[in-house]
Structure 1
Amino acid sequence: MQHFHANEHPHRRYNPLLGEWILVSPHRAKRPWQGQNETLLEETKPEYDPNCYLCAGNIRANGIQNEHYTDCFVFENDFSALLKDEVTFDKAPSELFQLKPERGINKVICFSPKHHLTLPEMAVDEIEKVVQVWKAQYLELGSLDYINYVQIFENKGSIMGCSNPHPHGQIWAQSSLPTQIEKTQKNLSIYYQKHKTSLLADYLKEELKQQQRIVIENTHFVALVPFWAIWPYETLIISKRHFGSIIAMTAEETTAFAEIIKSLTTKYDNLFETSFPYSSGIHQAPTDRIAHPEWHFHMHFYPPLLRSASIKKFMVGYEMLGEAQRDLSPEQSAQILRELPTIHYKTKNL
């Protein structure tokens, strides 16, 4: 009988944040690939695009003109998924047909006036300004009495549903806790009540001891491939100090956070020498006027690329009907990312 090896044998891993399992099949990474594998031509974008509705000074679809901004620019989404209006509502009579109105605000944050940039191509001090805007928006939106959660996120790349290549992210602030947050809230609370410590603080201590899945570490943050990662090159940025939300960051932590975002996203771009697509987002304490000592600030990156700039991995088949599954082990993907340079491939010959 063979002895179990995590990089050779199929197994399941537990995600303590969501209380869910994932199937890992590392032996399948050896199989030959005969699927989609097109060559990508990377488009050269101008610094300013007169047809872009996010560029400084341009007119958006609703006829409003953007400010002639020089760093970050924030505005309410012209096509919001959530609305501020309060409505009257009669509760649905059946438990099988439940619904309830949801109030909220959607905002867009342009990271830079330069149309051709992405986060890894921006300077650390420019990313720091983005973090400062995230702080201000979390505080402003979270102070509204009907907003109980502020979700800050970025969709990068058209395959992640991004409708405009201009560097930007979004904020969806709403009256309910979103499903993933509710699951995380529950599991963080259970752990905190049992151990009187932060789940992610304890998890990070063990990761730093093992050093198997660490990608980048600086004074205040660690970027790693989580033990339970689903996406091929999924990563998690965790603060070393236990605090619940972005507004608790010190000036030094803010700079360190900007630095690790730049380094990690640069590694992503360098992996296949392409503008690496992903969905990323910050998970932090709700704004429901309740103390949340169980929450520990962290940021998720979910990229779909698997073997090249053109081969993507999305949840299909068994993953939609059974449970999440991955072929490359988290330890293998962490090693690949760890060994990549933090100098962007576009600048290596300059």
Structure 2
Amino acid sequence: MQKPASHRRKNQLTGEWVLVSPHRNNRPWHGATEASDESELPEHVDSCPLCPRNERVNGASNPDYAQTHVFTNDFGALTENEVNDDHSHPLFESQEATGMAKVICFSPKHNKTLAQLTVNEIVPVVKTWKHEYETLSKEFNCVHIFENKGEIMGCSQPHPHGQIWAHQHYSSEIERENTKQLDYFNAHNKALLNVYLQQELQDQERVVCQNDNWVVLVPYWAKWPFETLVLPISPIADMTQMNEAQQRDLADVISQLTIRYDNIFKCSFPYSMGWHNAPTDLRDKSHWVLHAHFYPPLLRSATVKKHMVGYEMMAESQRDLTPELAAKMLRDVSSVHYKEEVKNA
């Protein structure tokens, strides 16, 4: 039997390469682990700045909200004022970076992540994403909607929430993805991600779950152990184009995916998730397909994290677990949250 061989795979969205080393999967592990906190949280915490009716650091009080709640980030990374950083040497280059940052509370319940919310409870989250994108995209070219889940990912508040950063400049990831998608469209007169999705649907090997309007898959070029890509079956360029059925089905696949994540290692699975919409100043968006990236760091268990160090930092990304095996593991776990299975046992 032939041994699995190391090889490289190209990320068609960014042009970057990832080294895949499946033969390393069985090596002994003596590396660092992270603490796993599975303590049960209450529905409301009086000191939490995101819970309904509570006061935030700036003195403002949250309303008694029943679904989602959005407010301007009290500690936003983007400011409205301009800074002139004049330097005479061309190697010292800077650019204005003004914008707006917001926080989205997914639910009034302090102890319910997306994986623990029902599809009906996730629908308002999707509708809020769309509404906020529609509003902010009238003013800003780049609107980044994302979530950092878990302390491992630097999340400072356990209350389920996401963020929006909106600005005029193209972020580095959007600039790279826009260039690659436009180059492909100019060469083939087809959207890169739509062609890619059709091939993945034909192969099925890396598909995790799907419904009438959305597909979740582990991309062929994934660099994180259980990285996934969320794609619309009927290509749309941004969230303004989502109809009611697409919004409902998006809530459904997000529920399916996040439950599967939690069930892999029976823990509240951490990740960074972000939506990539077409930049709003594009005159023609035919080359662009709306999509979301999920980047989870867990590798071997609830306490073993993939660290991007050494070769990954100095050369290129590397992974041991193949995307095909990661997709199979996600497909094979139950679509019922492990806490619900214990409760109903």
The whole-number CA distance in structure 1 between the counterparts of 2:82 and 2:32 is 47
The whole-number CA distance in structure 1 between the counterparts of 2:91 and 2:34 is 45
User: Aligned match of 1:192 in 160, 168, 185?
Assistant: 185
- SS at 1:215's partner residue? strand
In structure 2, the residue matched to 1:324 is 317
Per the normalisation by structure 1, the TM-score is: 0.95
Contact 2:33–2:305 (Cα < 8 Å) also in 1 = no
Contact 2:34–2:305 (Cα < 8 Å) also in 1 = no
Shift of residue 287, structure 1, vs aligned partner = 1.6
User: Aligned match of 1:259 in 252, 255, 263?
Assistant: 252
In structure 2, the residue matched to 1:129 is 124
In structure 2, the residue matched to 1:338 is 331
User: Aligned match of 1:32 in 28, 32, 48?
Assistant: 28
- SS at 1:295's partner residue? coil
The whole-number CA distance in structure 2 between the counterparts of 1:223 and 1:92 is 46
Aligned partner of 2:79: which letter? L
The whole-number CA distance in structure 2 between the counterparts of 1:265 and 1:53 is 25
The whole-number CA distance in structure 2 between the counterparts of 1:13 and 1:239 is 23
- 1:62 and 2:58 equivalent? yes
- SS at 1:348's partner residue? helix
Of 35-44 and 226-235, the range deviating more from structure 2: 35-44
Contact 1:245–1:284 (Cα < 8 Å) also in 2 = yes
User: Aligned match of 2:88 in 87, 93, 96?
Assistant: 93
Change (3 A) 1:90 1:323: closer
- SS at 2:308's partner residue? coil
In structure 1, the residue matched to 2:264 is 271
The whole-number CA distance in structure 2 between the counterparts of 1:314 and 1:125 is 36
Change (3 A) 1:91 1:193: farther
Counting aligned pairs with the same residue, the percent is 48
In structure 2, the residue matched to 1:315 is 308
In structure 2, the residue matched to 1:245 is 238
Pairing of 1:128-167 with structure 2 (within 5 A): 128-144=123-139, 147-167=140-160
Contact 2:142–2:167 (Cα < 8 Å) also in 1 = yes
Contact 1:148–1:288 (Cα < 8 Å) also in 2 = yes
Shift of residue 94, structure 1, vs aligned partner = 2.4
The whole-number CA distance in structure 2 between the counterparts of 1:37 and 1:79 is 30
Change (3 A) 1:14 1:253: same
- 1:182 and 2:175 equivalent? yes
Contact 2:85–2:94 (Cα < 8 Å) also in 1 = no
Shift of residue 125, structure 1, vs aligned partner = 1.5
Give the length in aligned residue pairs.
343
In structure 2, the residue matched to 1:45 is 41
- 1:210 and 2:206 equivalent? no
Segments of 5+ residues of structure 1 without an aligned counterpart are none
C-alpha deviations, 1:248-269, integer Å up to 9, x for none? Answer: 0111111110000000000000
In structure 2, the residue matched to 1:299 is 292
Shift of residue 195, structure 1, vs aligned partner = 0.8
Aligned partner of 1:128: which letter? V
Per the normalisation by structure 2, the TM-score is: 0.97
Shift of residue 38, structure 1, vs aligned partner = 6.4
C-alpha deviations, 1:86-114, integer Å up to 9, x for none? Answer: 45x36543221001221100000000000
User: Aligned match of 2:101 in 106, 112, 119?
Assistant: 106
Shift of residue 176, structure 1, vs aligned partner = 0.4
The whole-number CA distance in structure 2 between the counterparts of 1:186 and 1:92 is 29
Segments of 5+ residues of structure 2 without an aligned counterpart are none
Contact 1:149–1:287 (Cα < 8 Å) also in 2 = yes
What root-mean-square deviation, in Å, do the aligned CA atoms of Structure 1 and Structure 2 show? 1.4
User: Aligned match of 1:15 in 8, 11, 14?
Assistant: 11
The whole-number CA distance in structure 2 between the counterparts of 1:18 and 1:265 is 25
C-alpha deviations, 1:152-199, integer Å up to 9, x for none? Answer: 000000010100000100000011010011000000000011111110
The whole-number CA distance in structure 1 between the counterparts of 2:194 and 2:127 is 24
Aligned partner of 1:347: which letter? E
Q: Which runs of 4+ in 1 moved over 4 A?
A: none
- SS at 2:300's partner residue? coil
Contact 1:91–1:100 (Cα < 8 Å) also in 2 = no
